[in-house]
Structures are given as structure tokens and as C-alpha cells.
A and B are shown apart, each in its own frame.
Chain A
Amino acid sequence: MSPSIIVVQLLSGLAKAMVLFLIASGLSLIFGVTRVVNFAHGSLYMLAAYLTYSLTAALPFGAASFYVSVLAAAVAVGLVGLVIEVGLLRRVYKAPELYQLLLTFALVLVISDVVKLAWGSENKTGPSAPGLAGSVPIAGQLFPTYDLALIVFGPLVALALWWLFYRTRWGVLIRAATQDREMVAALGVDQARLFTAVFALGSALAGLGGALQVPRQPLTIVMDTSIITEAFVVVVIGGMGSVPGALLAAVMIGVIEAFGVLVLPKATLVMTFAVMAIVLIVRPWGLLGRPESQGRGAGGAIASTSAVPVPRAAIVALLAALVALPPLLPTFHVWVLVEILAFALFAASLHLLMGTGGMVSFGHAASFGLGAYGAALLMKLAGVTMPVAFVAAPVVAAACALVIGFFCVRLSSIYFAMLTLAFAQIAYAIVHQWYDVTGGDNGLLGVWPARWLATPLRYYYLALVACVAGIALLGVIGRAPFGLVLRAARDHARRAEAVGVNVRRHQWLAFVIAGFFGGLAGATFVFLKGSAFPDYFSVPRSVEPLVMVLLGGVQAPAGAPLGAAIYKILDTVATKYTEYWQMVLGVILVTLVLAFPRGVIGVLRRG
């Protein structure tokens, strides 16, 4: 590698890092102060990009139009953030169980369709930045002027943020709030206003990032989802709530990726996640993050109050209906029921982790995918019969969970969540790349039930037995000493250690059990669809059960299957009847969250 290549590649990495930093710093700030895991951050970034695109064309200021548009878009998106915080998030701060996450997920859906409605779904090439559109020779190569400008601009923003945090009273409050929210409240600070301001500032930073990306990247309606994971990665590597950490991590990721494509061109799928996994294993709180002050278990964000009782008669009636009704139903409804059963089990397995154990996983799709691929590969490669593959698949998933869990349970809260995500992505990359075994992204086809099970009804009853047994077993485990101790460790990890509980080992076991049943869900699903694809490991597949658990209600094990049923039915119906199913689903989710801030099962709560 010649020195000129190294210089130019380094500059490329730095330019990308600056945009990443802007987005990640906003996300980090919002999480640090409000503890909101803002999935909609990428949507705000996308919104600003489209606004910049349209404003630049509409404004009459000639060459200055673009720059005015960038500022205007950032401010406008900051205002959108403000409205979201005041209008929606504020209503659910009191619900301690990550319901804000559910709301922001609903916003992702809504904003996505808003952009589609307003701008159409075709890709667009944005305007160049006037005055910076050309290139300059550097080390014998041409390098875009605009990228150089970004490399200068990024640190200026960092400096401005530093000034804000270290030289203003407001900044002192934000830093204090990042470390100890209760203390700031005790100081008599108006927490509501602080949260609103921080959310608006964070949103504006996302907007600035999106606006500045316009000359570098085409506008697409999937910009939101492609940036959000990367932004979380940067935030977590840097340390949640740490702006300098976000800068450091953005530079690290930008530069590693720039050189990574030279050395390992095929590894771009997984490079970022591999880096994150390594950083988190070595430094469980990110590069510049701090351990959270309370000695909570992994996932500290979940703090359920006592469980909600579900009337036994309701469960018996439901089971009777599930056994008796399907022969009377149209075939498609039977198929949908199988899908609901699979997802009910999938969500219930996640509930053991996040509800009972307080460990919020962003990578539970790994168990689902491993179950699906485990079953498919056992049939294709090992030549076992379908029933054997069905039974063995969850064991494969559990075995992998044993390895993944070993690393993950060392971490807490969002760091745990992101490490699970990293492993799911690594699994995704392996499945995606290992053509000879997994068929790559063309997937594994012809994974159908054995002939004697191949009618919809017969397969339904197999799924019913497997999933109901799985959900029931998860319920039994939740009520057994293990479940009780897991809840104790969730409430207070140090206290649990001080009554002789090896907390990590219990969490590890929970991880393996959740992996087992997630794998069973994946196996149930794969024989329904007949094929397995890498997207079984994807981030949306991990987010789905999370949404289901929250929607149903995290405090009761029955909430997860209930949430799965509601979500799947809404999704199936909305997708069938409208092209804008995301909007419909998003609005319904927002309504449900506001109406049932503790999940739908909260209806059953006494008093």
C-alpha cells in the first residue's frame, strides 16, 4: 500500500466518521439523559435529508440555498423532535419498561410512509454543495472538497458541544443528568423541560447529519434503517451518553471501514459489528462510558411491578378454541395461526430474558434463525428426517446461545443489548457468505414438513403442540425457583450476589433457555414457509419480538403471546389492505401504547 493511498483512504474514513459522529452524538445525548432508546433517530436523519433536497430546489438564494436548507432542515427536524417528545414520549416516561422504545418504533413506521407519500419511493440524487462540489489533488489523487469540509466541520460541532456541556449551566445539568437522573430531579431542576430540550437538540443533530449527507449519498426511503444500527454501534462503542466517546468511536469505525475494504472487501457486512463485539468484550461500558450507578442486573431498564393475574378460565377457553376451531377455518387462517403460534413462542422466549431476567436483547433473531437453519441444514446435510430435525433444531440454537451468552451476560443494559445484536449480525454474515453450506442469500429451499404432516391442519396441530408446550414450559420456568431468582437478580444484582446467587451463571442459563425456545419458534416457522433466508437473523426480526413483548405487556408472561397475536393480526390485515401498512400499523401502535402504557395485558391489572 503506497503512502498516498493510505492518506486518501484515511481522509475517506474521517469524512464518513464526521457524519456518523453528528448522528451518534444526538442519539447518545438522548439516551444519556432520557434513557430513551430512540429507534426513530434514523427516521429524523432521513427526514432532514429529504427536506434539504426539496428546500434547496425551492429556495431563491442561489448558491446559498443549499446551506440555508441544511440549517433549516436541522432546525425543522429539531422541532419535529420537540413535538415528538412533548406530544408522545412525555406521556409514557412513567411507564418504566422501555415503552418509549415501542413508541419510537411506531414512529419509524409512520415517518417512513410519510416520506414515501411526500417524496415517492424512487431513489434521488441530491444537489452538490455549491463551492465545494469539486475535488482537490491530495497525494497525487483527487479528493472531494466537500469531504474535506466535513472533516473540518465535524470537530467544530464537537467543540461547540463541548462548550455547551462544560461552559454553560445547562450543560452541567445535562452531564449531571447523564450520570444520575434522580439527583438532578432532587436539585429542583425542571426535568420535563430538560428532557424536551435534549430531545430537540439530539434530533437537530440527527437532522444536521442527514442534511449534510445529501451531497454525498443518494436519498432512499430505506436510509433510516440503514443508518440507525450503525449509529447505535457508534454510540455503544463510544459509551452511552458520552459525546467525546461518540467522536472517538465514529473516527474508529470510519477509519477501520475505510481500510477494511482494502484488506477484506467481503467483510463489510460484519466489520462494524465485529469491532463492536471486541470493544464490548474488552470494555463492557464502551470506550469512554461509565458503569451505571445502580447495581442492577443486565437490562436495568426493565423494572416490572408485580405480575398481572390471567384468569385460568380464559386460558382454558383459548386452548379449547385453538384445538377445536381450526378445522372450521379457511386454510389461510390456519396458516396465519401457525405463524402467530411461532411468534408467540418466539416472543415468550424473549420475555424470559427481558421480562423475567431484565436482559433486553436486540439480537434474539439469532436463536430464531439458528433454529430455522439448524432444522434446514440437519435435513439437507445430515439427511435426518423432518421430525428429527424439528426436535433437534432448538438444541442447535441452544448450543449456539451457550457460546454467545457466555460473552453477553458479562454486560448490562444497552451494552448487553448491542452485543446480542452484534452476534446476531455476525451469524447473519456467516449465513449470508457461506454459500456452500447455507446457500448464501438465496437461502435453503424445500424445507417442508414430512409428508404425513404436510397438510395445513396437521402441521398446525404439530405447531400447536410445540408452541403451546414451549410457552407453558417457559411459564413453569418463570414460576420455578430459577425464575424467581432471575427476577431477584433483575431487581438487584448485587443483592442477589450477596445471597449466594451467581448472577451471571443464572443469566447465562436463561440465555440458553431463551435460545432453545427461540430456536423451536424458528423451526416451527421454517417448515411453515418451506425456506430459510439470512433475513431470519436480521435486525427487524430481532425488533419484532421486542415490540410484541412490550405491546402485550412485559410484566406478565402471558403478555408476550398476546402481543404477538395482536401484532401479527394487525400486520397481516394492514399489509393486505393498504400499500401504506406502515402508517396504519404505526398509528395503531401509538394509540395502543398511549392507551395501554403497560401493555395490553395491563387491562387485567387490579385497580
Chain B
Amino acid sequence: MKRPPIAAVALGLLAALASLIPIGYLLLRLFEGFEAALAELARARTLELLLNTIGLTVSVSLTALAIGAVQAWLTVRTNLPLAPVFAVLATLPLAIPSYVLALGYVSVFPSFSGFWAAWFTLSLATSPYVFLALSAALISSNFAAEEVARSLGKNRWHVIQSVTWPQVRPAAFASVLLVALYTLSEFGAIAILRFDTFTRAIYNAYRGSFDRTSAAALALVLVALTLVVIYFERRYRGDRWQAPTAAGRKRRIDLGRARILAAFGLGIIGLFGAGVPLVSLIGWSVNQTGFDLLRLGELVASSLAVAIAAGVVIGIFALAISVWNLRYSSRLSGAVDLTAWAAHALPAVVVALALVYFGANLVPGIYQSIWLLLLGYLILFLPNALGLVGTPIALVPRSIEEVARSQGLSKNAALTKVVLPIALPGILAGVALASLTVLKELPATLLLRPNELDTLATELWQATEVLAYSQAAPYALALIIIAGVPALALNAQARKLISEVS
């Protein structure tokens, strides 16, 4: 076993340590101020937050599941007219950050707020996750098995229940988990729609009153909820079986006249998920008086600069861990890889809160500097980046590396001259996606940014805080154009699906 490059080990260990900060902070809080936390949690307000958060998470998860499942079944399995168009339409909300979606509605209907508004907005914003997972599962499920079930006397609805659903259930549960976690950690849309859940309360506790004890106590409850969601998904998603490769021709189910009705229904969903908010944002942007184009240019430039810097940092760490764990794997590299995932699913508000504490108490000078912000992005987005950067490396066949070795290259030279160049396009796409995610990030950016740094997201946020929705519209549009659309275009799952459906 060759020793891994020292740089990879050093970067990997650093990233693992960084990823442990939020958990360390939470544990510290738990032990330090247990009684204070209990007192905080005993307030009636906590119960209200709990009910709000759980109610929203459950209702959004179920609604997104219903929307995504219907969209997936109709576009993949039936003779719906213009199926590829509807597939694109169903993924379109991915290009719109959820707080932008919320802004699109609230700017037209100022009374659009509270539970139903949050439920409506987040259900539409998260349905693409279910749609993508379920349509991929439907495509790879065995169509012939459904026909066999028909021939054994089951009607169409019974076949969906007894054959189709069990085959896609693991994908459905995994995507609903994603939606639930997304809802639990959502901050921007909920705050704009003035509905109180834990994330908004944590932010306000810290921002409004600098009440760290209260913020930390609420954060602990939120993390506990997150763990419950993960537990339920593991427990109830059912056995995973190897999906047999689907053979035979893929016949689409004839909906008859109902296909027009189905197309109409999907059109309405698409209209609410993307059409209405886009039109309203465009309308406000066009009818803007005294609009400062220069300011927009500055914000785009500063947003891009921060996002690219963060993308590069995240990319370097992800690359180091991937190379170490995939090509020189050892127990230590496995542990580092696992640790990097520790912060996965932690709400950004909680991570930011931990870093504020870390910066203010342990590393003076880093607080309110760009470095703390970059550290926050690293912890938040490293898990996703590990998948994005690791996959293209894992896909380079070992045999290619072995041929390179037999041609006289050392293991490290084979890596730098053969493996990495082959994987480079995939790695760059991963870095680009990480940058685009950073571009849209709101809560951690708000809490960790240096005072002089304004981005599109923070400027949009400040405008909504003073209810200047029309002012925020151009920033929202800019975010969709420079972050949302490219992210959707780079989304491998969405691309694969759309090519399969057409």
C-alpha cells in the first residue's frame, strides 16, 4: 500500500475537524447550559414552534410526494402529450431558490403569509426532488411485471398499489426525507412569509436579542427533529432490493381522453411553481423607477467572487478527501469521509450559530471576516461536493490506472497524469454546482458575512425586511439567471431524465 499524498491527508483531516465544529458546539451547549436550555424550552412559545415546524414539515412532505409522484407517473409512464415539456416544467422550480418563490408571491399578494403560504410555497419548491427520484425509479422499474400483474387479474389501480409502488418506495422515502430535511432547515421563504418555525426563531433570537442561550436551546430541538426524520426514513423505507434491469419495450399507458385533463393539471402546477412568480418578478423589475443598474452589477460581481472562492475551497477539500479515500483508502480515510458527512442535514442556521460562537470565543480575528464565511460554506456543502467530485474519480476504471503504472508511471504520477485529467470535466462540474449553491445560500451568509460584504441574496433579504418587495425583484431575477438556471442545467439527474423521456 502506497502512502497517500501528504497534502491530501492534511486537507482531509482539516476538513474533518471543521465538520465537527457544529456538533461540538451543540454538545458543549448541551452540557454547559442544560438547565438554562430546559427553562428556555419549557416556555409555551417552544411548543408553538414545535407544532408549527412539525405541521409544516409533514404537510409539505406529503404534498410534495403527491405532486412529484403524479408528475413522475404521468410523464414517464403514460401517453401524456408533450411529456418532455412537462418533465422540464416539473424540474423548473429547482432553478428558483425557495425564498425567491416566496418573494414572487408575496410581492403580488402582500397578505400571502402564514402557514398556508409557507406550505404552498415549499411544496412547490421541493416537489422536483420527489419528481426526479420517482421518475428515475419508475424508469428502471420492471414494466413487464406490471403487465404480468394485469394478466393475473389485477386492475390498473391495484397494479399501481401492489407492483409499482413497492418498486419505487425506497426512492420515494429517500426523496421525502430530503424534502422533510429541506423544510426543517428552510429559513428564507419561511421568514419572508412570516411563519414561525425553529429556523426563524433561532435567527431572530440571535439577531434580534443576541440571546445565544435561547438560540442554542432551540437549535438543539431542531437537530433532534432532524435526527427523528432520518430515523423514520431508515426505519420505514423498506428493504432495498437490486432493481432488475428493465427489459423489453417501454409501453406507455393509454390515458384516453384523460390525457388532456392530465396535461392541463400539470400545466396548472407548473404555472404556480414557476410561471406566476417569474411573471411577477419580471413585472416588478421592468416597472422599477430609479433602478440602480450599477448597484446590481456590483452585487452580481461580489456574489460571484464569493461563490467562486467558496467553490474552489470546497472543491479542493472534496478532491483531497476523494483521492485519499477512493485511491488510497484506509480506515482513517473512511473515518474522515464519514466525518465530513456529520454536518450534512444540519440546518444552515445551526451551523452558522456554531461558527459564530467558534469565531467569537476560540479564534479571535476570524469573526466577521471572509474566512469564517468560507469555513461555513465548506462545512455546509462539503458532503454534497464529496459526491459530485468523488463520482467522476470513482468512475475512472482501475485498469486504466494499472496500464499507466505498467507504462512506468508511479502511483502518484498515474493519479495526476491519467486519473485526474480523465475525471476533470466531472470535477469541474461538481465545483461549479457547489459555487451555484453558495450563490443562493441565505441564512449562513446573513449570520457570518463581514459587514461590508453584500451579495444578491443578502440585498434581497434586506429589501424584504422593510417590505420593499419590488426593490428585491431584480436581485431575485438575477439569482435565478446566474444561479438557478445553470444549476438546473448542470443537474445530472434532471438531464438524464429529460433525455430518457424525450
Q: Is A bound to B?
A: no
Report A's interface with B, CB cutoff 8 A: none
Report B's interface with A, CB cutoff 8 A: none
